[in-house]
Amino acid sequence: MPLTVREWLEPFRVLKNTNIAITVVAYAITHNFVLTLLAVEVGAIFIPRFHLNPQQTGLNFIGFFVG
């Protein structure tokens, strides 16, 4: 059964409620900030602390891509 435009836009109707819209935006900003911070800081902290080479540092990012 193909997806229609109306079915695709249905979840966005919830954003008419201001309380829900503000909460969604706050969670989205927080999630993106933390994810970016972790991605940058993992390399900066793990390399000197655990004496990792670039390949070992790159393996730390598998979790970001998989999950």
What percentage of the chain carries pLDDT values higher than 70?
Answer: 99
Averaged pLDDT for residues 45-67? 84
pLDDT over 80 (residue 42): no
> Is 32 or 43 the better-scoring residue by pLDDT?
32
- Report residue 43 CA to chain centroid gap: 17
Distance CA(19)–CA(56), nearest Å, equals 44
> Is 43 or 3 the better-scoring residue by pLDDT?
3
Q: Where are the domains of the chain?
A: 5-66
The first and second tokens of residue 7, run together, are 């079915």
